[in-house]
Structure 1
Amino acid sequence: MLKIATGHSEDPETHSATPEALDMAVAGLDGAVPKAALVFAGIDTDLREMVSIIRDRYPDIELSGCTTDGELSEVGGFLEDSVVITLFASDVVDFTVGVGVGAAENPSQATAQAVAMARGKTDKDPALCIATPEGIGTNIQFILDGLRAALGAEFPIVGGAAADQLRFTQTSQFCNDEIVSNAVVVMLLSGPLIHSCGVATGYTGLGNRHLVTKAEGAVIHEIGGKPAVDLYSDYVQSHSIFFPLAVYVPERGGMVLSTPQRFDKDTGSIHLVNPIPADSEVQIATASRDEIIDAARLAGEQAVKAFPSGVPEAALIFSCAGRRAALGTRTNEEYTSLTQSIGKRIPTAGFYTYGEICPPEPDSTSLTHTNALVAVLLGTAAGT
Structure 2
Amino acid sequence: MNFAPRVRRGHTTLADVDAAVDELHAQLDQADSTLVLIFASPDYPPEALAAALNRRFADTLVVGCTTAGEIGPGGYQHHSISAVSFAAPDFCAVAQRIDDLAGMSLSDALGVAMGARHQLGVRSPFPIERRTFALLLIDGLSAREEQVASRLSRALGDIPMFGGSAGDNMRFERTAVLIDGQFVSAAAALVLVSTPHPFEVFKSEHAAGYGERVVVTEADADRRIVTEINAEPAAAEYARLLGLAPEKLTPQAFAAHPLVLQVGGVPYVRSIQRVNPDLSLSFFCAIDEGLVLSGTRAHDVVSNLARTFDGLRRRLGPLQIVLGCDCILRTLAEHDSATRARLSALLAANHVVGFNTYGEQFNAMHVNQTFTGIAIGYGLPA
TM-score (norm 2): 0.86
2:25–2:57 Cα contact (<8 Å) kept: no
How many Å apart are 1:383 and its aligned residue?
A: 7.1
Please list, as runs of the form range in 1=range in 2, the aligned pairs for 1:124-273 lying within 5 A after superposition. Answer: 124=124, 125-126=127-128, 127-152=132-157, 154-217=158-221, 218-236=224-242, 237=244, 238-240=248-250, 241-251=254-264, 253-264=265-276, 266=278, 268-273=279-284
More divergent stretch after superposition (62-71 vs 372-381): 372-381
Query: CA–CA distance in 2 between the matches of 1:263 and 1:142?
Result: 25
Query: CA–CA distance in 1 between the matches of 2:365 and 2:374?
Result: 14
Please list, as runs of the form range in 1=range in 2, the aligned pairs for 1:288-367 lying within 5 A after superposition. Answer: 291-307=300-316, 310-328=317-335, 330=337, 331-338=340-347, 344=349, 347-358=351-362, 366-367=364-365
Say if 1:232 and 1:383 are closer, same or farther in 2 by CA, change over 3 A: closer
Alignment length (residue pairs) = 361
2:33 paired residue number = 34
More divergent stretch after superposition (328-337 vs 214-223): 328-337
1:361 paired residue number = none
Say if 1:197 and 1:220 are closer, same or farther in 2 by CA, change over 3 A: same
How many Å apart are 1:312 and its aligned residue?
A: 2.9
How many Å apart are 1:242 and its aligned residue?
A: 2.3
- For residues 223-242 of structure 1, what are the alpha-carbon distances to aligned partners after superposition, in whole Å with 9 as ceiling and x for unaligned? 22222223322232042322
2:325–2:371 Cα contact (<8 Å) kept: yes
1:106 paired residue number = 104
Quick one: which amino acid aligns to residue 311 of structure 2? Q
- For residues 327-371 of structure 1, what are the alpha-carbon distances to aligned partners after superposition, in whole Å with 9 as ceiling and x for unaligned? 2463443232345xxxx2x5431100111123xxxxxx5533210
User: Is 1:8 matched up with 2:8?
Assistant: no
Please list every run of 5 or more consecutive structure 2 residues that lacks an aligned counterpart in the other structure: none
Q: SS at the partner of 1:122? A: helix
Query: CA–CA distance in 1 between the matches of 2:17 and 2:341?
Result: 23
Please list every run of 5 or more consecutive structure 1 residues that lacks an aligned counterpart in the other structure: 359-364
How many Å apart are 1:54 and its aligned residue?
A: 3.1
Query: CA–CA distance in 1 between the matches of 2:83 and 2:72?
Result: 9
- Identity over aligned pairs, percent: 21
Query: CA–CA distance in 1 between the matches of 2:175 and 2:321?
Result: 26
1:133–1:161 Cα contact (<8 Å) kept: yes
Say if 1:44 and 1:105 are closer, same or farther in 2 by CA, change over 3 A: farther
Aligned CA-pair RMSD: 2.5
More divergent stretch after superposition (328-337 vs 169-178): 328-337
Query: CA–CA distance in 1 between the matches of 2:226 and 2:137?
Result: 27
